[in-house]
Structure 1
Amino acid sequence: MSSDLPSTAPVRAVCSIGEFLDVLAGPANYWECSPNAWLYRGQTKMRNIWPIQPKAGRDMFFAMALKSKEGWSDASDFQVVDGVKETIRVRENFFAPHDMYVFKEWADRAVAYSDKFPENQWERLALAQHYGLATRLLDWTTSPLVALFFAVSEENGEHGAVYAYYAPHRQIDPVADNFWSFNSEAFVAGGLVYRPRPVDRRMLQQCAVFTYHPFPLRPIVPIQERQEAIRTFSSSHRFGTDLMTIVVGSTYKETLRRELATLGITRESLFPDLEGLSSELNHTNSGGGVRTAYSSGIPLEWLSAERREEIERMFASKQQTEEKETTPDA
Structure 2
Amino acid sequence: MEYGTIKLTDVDMLHKVFRGFRSHDGVGWLFRGHAQASWDLLPKAGRPEFYLPDNRDLGRFLNWTEKAVAYTSLSSSYLEQLALAQHHGLATRLLDWSMNPLVACYFACSDHADKDGAVWMYEMCNVILTDESTRESLKEKKGVFGYLPKAIFSRVINQRGVFTVHCDAAHPIDVMESRVTKGWPNLFRLDIPAALKADIVTHLGDYGIDRSHLFPDLDGLSAHVNAATSRMRKPDADK
Interval of TM-score (by shorter of Structure 1 and Structure 2):
0.7 to 0.9
Cα deviation, 1:105-158, whole Å, max 9, x if unaligned, reads 2222222333x5423221110011122110000000111111111111202521
Superposition TM-score, scaled by structure 1 size: 0.65
* Matched positions, count: 232
Flag structure 1 segments of 5+ consecutive residues without an equivalent.
2-6, 72-96, 224-231, 290-330
The one-letter code sitting in structure 2 at the alignment partner of 1:110 is: A
- Asked if the contact 1:53–1:219 (Cα under 8 Å) also holds between the matched residues in 2, the reply is yes
Cα deviation, 1:93-116, whole Å, max 9, x if unaligned, reads xxxx2x2122122222222333x5
Relative to structure 1, is the Cα distance of residues 260 and 245 closer, same or farther in structure 2, using a 3 angstrom cutoff? Answer: same
Correspondence for 1:196: 149
Correspondence for 1:23: 17
The one-letter code sitting in structure 2 at the alignment partner of 1:129 is: Q
Work out which of the residue numbers 4, 23, 41 in structure 2 matches 1:9.
4
Cα deviation, 1:70-115, whole Å, max 9, x if unaligned, reads x3xxxxxxxxxxxxxxxxxxxxxxxxx2x2122122222222333x
CA distance in 1, matches of 2:35, 2:14: 16
Correspondence for 1:44: 35
Superposition TM-score, scaled by structure 2 size: 0.87
The one-letter code sitting in structure 1 at the alignment partner of 2:42 is: Q
Which structure: larger Rg? 1
- Asked if the contact 1:15–1:249 (Cα under 8 Å) also holds between the matched residues in 2, the reply is no
Cα root mean square deviation, aligned: 2.3
Give 1:182 deviation, angstroms: 4.6
Give 1:60 deviation, angstroms: 1.9
- Asked if the contact 2:8–2:190 (Cα under 8 Å) also holds between the matched residues in 1, the reply is yes
- Asked if the contact 2:93–2:166 (Cα under 8 Å) also holds between the matched residues in 1, the reply is yes
1:104 equivalent to 2:62? Answer yes
- Asked if the contact 2:123–2:178 (Cα under 8 Å) also holds between the matched residues in 1, the reply is no
The one-letter code sitting in structure 2 at the alignment partner of 1:178 is: T
Flag structure 2 segments of 5+ consecutive residues without an equivalent.
234-239
Work out which of the residue numbers 157, 172, 180 in structure 2 matches 1:235.
180
The one-letter code sitting in structure 2 at the alignment partner of 1:54 is: P
Correspondence for 1:267: 211
CA distance in 2, matches of 1:222, 1:158: 26
Relative to structure 1, is the Cα distance of residues 178 and 113 closer, same or farther in structure 2, using a 3 angstrom cutoff? Answer: same
Correspondence for 2:169: 216
Relative to structure 1, is the Cα distance of residues 101 and 288 closer, same or farther in structure 2, using a 3 angstrom cutoff? Answer: farther
1:253 equivalent to 2:197? Answer yes
Relative to structure 1, is the Cα distance of residues 216 and 117 closer, same or farther in structure 2, using a 3 angstrom cutoff? Answer: closer
- Asked if the contact 2:113–2:198 (Cα under 8 Å) also holds between the matched residues in 1, the reply is no
CA distance in 2, matches of 1:197, 1:122: 10
